[in-house]
Amino acid sequence: MKSYQNQSKAALKKEITKLYKARDAYKKKHLNLNMTRGKPAPAQLDLCLGINKVLIKKEDYISKDKIDCRNYGDMTGIYECKKLLGDMCGAKPEQVIVAGNSSLRIMYDVIAHGMMKGVCGNKPFMKQGKIKWLCVVPGYDRHFSILEYLGIEMINVDLRKDGPDMDTVEKLVKKDPTIKGIWCVPQYANPSGTSYGPKAVKRLASLKPAAKDFRIYWDNAYAVHHLYPNKQDRVLNILDEAKKAHNEDIVYVFASTSKISFAGAGVACVACSENNKKDLIANFNMETVGFDKVNQIRHVRYFKDINGIKAHMKKHANIMRPKFEMVLSVLDKEIGDLKIAQYTRPYGGYFVSLNTLPGCATRVHALCKEMGVSLTPAGAAYPYHKDPKDSHLRIAPSFPTVNEIKDATKILALAIKIATIEQKLKINGRN
């Protein structure tokens, strides 16, 4: 296949006529393929049916330190669940608060606490006038939605191959005391699959922000979500690095088992310094008499320890890997040589990031829709849904079957070709 760049207008016109025919053929098929969200597939969920067979006798509900998980209390969670989640996200049990079913909700809650009460005794965000946040882009749409909803101004920071553009991060947080946070997904980042290198983690852990109430919001969502047994990214432990830098209060770490046990029915945690923990517990104590400890002990009885989780995640990988490989092999075959898109080849996580030529992503999304393939809207991975280059698309291959992914990715490739040639020929994209 020849690159479109060196082709004449006439050749491109001929090509697009052919491509439109292919599109029209797909339209007649009335397909309904969905690659919008990072949802586990039923086959992954089936792996965990045993988790609801481990609590039988009343002794099964009693934790090692004699806590009856069926009753109120014990705000930070039972020790063995703190250990389980701590081992997963690089925290000591005493740094962990197991706080419900959803790490996103904990993140929201921590920010809401900052809004209404202030972080560690500082003035509430809502009483500080305009505040800002650094958003590593492309990033997780729901992180940005929270900030937009709460009226916090978002500033884009580019994600490079080894982490955020740290020169910019350091410069901004040093000079601007209205910047209160940065969103990071350090391992197999949503949506690029990028993992932060050691330099980036060390520089983040050593940040000296102008704002005392600045924190790194470290969403370690994919800590054990490797695709390959032998090709695995490892990210430095930011809690340890922050301690080394005498900067322990700089970071909140978040994790959950939503993509390990059941989505939305797992256990989630925040891990942080003693100061931060005290501050958060004061808040949690107002909110609730306690989080669901039965679900905590259920997860402990089922997985036993971090090795149990790792073994379980190998089974997930066996289901996920062929899906990622199908996305990549179709893209390689269909557009690999055309220089009309770049895409990531992650070793883990839930997404592939694809960049079209600037100005094409919205059109690709629309073309896919016409052909029966739903993708996350173009721009979704950016604050305010605005991709400055209109080139980014997030591919979520976890939920559909391998065959569906094959079809959907072929359609995506076709859409990229069409959008690229339309742009070159200045076709307005509405024919």
Closest to its own copies by CB, 72 vs 228, is 72
- In whole angstroms, give the CA distance from residue 173 to residue 182: 9
* Least distance CB 247 / its own copies (angstroms): 29
Helices 361-370 and 402-424 pack at an angle, to 10 degrees, of 130
Cβ proximity to its own copies, 149 vs 228, nearer residue: 149
Find, among 293, 389, 267, 398, the residue nearest to 63 by Cα: 293
Q: Does residue 312 bind its own copies (CB under 8 A)?
A: no
DSSP string, 56-67: -SGGGGB-TT--
Question: Of 65-73, 272-280, 313-321, 343-351, which part binds its own copies (CB under 8 A)?
Answer: 65-73
Quick one: DSSP state of residue 123?
P
Nearer to its own copies, 227 or 268 (CB): 268
CB atoms within 10 A of CB 322: 16
39 is a site residue for its own copies (CB under 8 A):
yes
Contact flag: residue 100 with its own copies (CB under 8 A)? yes
145 binds its own copies per the rule CB under 8 A: yes
Q: How far is the CB of 244 from its own copies (least distance, A)?
A: 34
Residue 221 in the binding site for its own copies (CB under 8 A):
no
Contact between 384 and its own copies per CB under 8 A: no
Nearer to its own copies, 291 or 343 (CB): 291
Cβ at position 81, least distance to its own copies in Å: 13
* Window of 99-107, 315-323, 359-367, 414-422 that interacts with its own copies by CB under 8 A: 99-107
CA gap 230, 180 in Å, rounded: 38
Show contacts with its own copies in window 263-292 (CB under 8 A): 263-265, 286-292
List 28, 32, 73, 129, residue binding its own copies (CB under 8 A) = 73
| Terminal alpha carbon distance of the chain | 25
Report which of 100, 84, 102, 104 is spatially closest to residue 92, judged by C-alpha positions.
Answer: 84
Q: Does 142 bind its own copies (CB under 8 A)?
A: yes
Told to check if 12 binds its own copies by CB under 8 A, we report: no
The only residue of 294, 319, 366, 427 in contact with its own copies, by rule CB under 8 A: 294
- 358 contacts its own copies (rule: CB under 8 A): no
Question: For its own copies, which is the closer residue by CB, 280 or 416?
Answer: 280
Give the nearer residue to its own copies in terms of CB position, either 196 or 382.
382
Which one among 58, 161, 246, 430 touches its own copies, defined by CB under 8 A? 58
What is the signed CA dihedral for 137, 140, 146, 149, rounded to 10 degrees? 70
- Tally Cβ neighbours within 10 Å of residue 310: 14
Closest distance of CB 195 from its own copies, Å? 23
Please say whether the beta carbons of 80 and 267 come within 8 A. no
CB 188, CB 255: distance < 8 Å: no
Q: Which is nearer to its own copies, 22 or 112 (CB)?
A: 112
- Interface with its own copies, residue 63, by CB under 8 A: no
Least distance (Å) from its own copies to the CB of residue 313?
17
Question: In this structure, what token pair is assigned to residue 287?
Answer: 């909110």
Strand partners, 97: 270
- Give residue 283's identity as a one-letter amino acid code: N
153 counts as binding its own copies under rule CB under 8 A: no
3-state class of 198 per DSSP?
helix
Structural contact between residues 155 and 132, judged by C-beta atoms closer than 8 angstroms: yes
CA atoms within 13 A on the CB side of 168: 14
If one asks whether residue 69 binds its own copies (CB under 8 A), the answer comes out as yes
According to the binding rule CB under 8 A, does residue 130 interact with its own copies? no
Judged by CB under 8 A, does residue 105 bind its own copies?
yes
Q: Are 201 and 164 contacting, i.e. CB atoms less than 8 angstroms apart?
A: no
Which residues are registered as beta bridge partners of 183?
135, 217
- Per CB under 8 A, 114 contacts its own copies: no
Edge to edge, what strands does the sheet with 268-271 contain? 96-98, 268-271, 251-256, 215-219, 179-184, 132-137, 153-160, 163-164
Q: Given the rule CB under 8 A, which residues bind its own copies?
A: 37, 39-40, 42, 45-46, 48-49, 52-53, 55-58, 61, 68-73, 100-102, 104-105, 108-109, 112, 115-117, 124, 126-127, 142, 145-146, 149-150, 258, 262-265, 286-295, 298
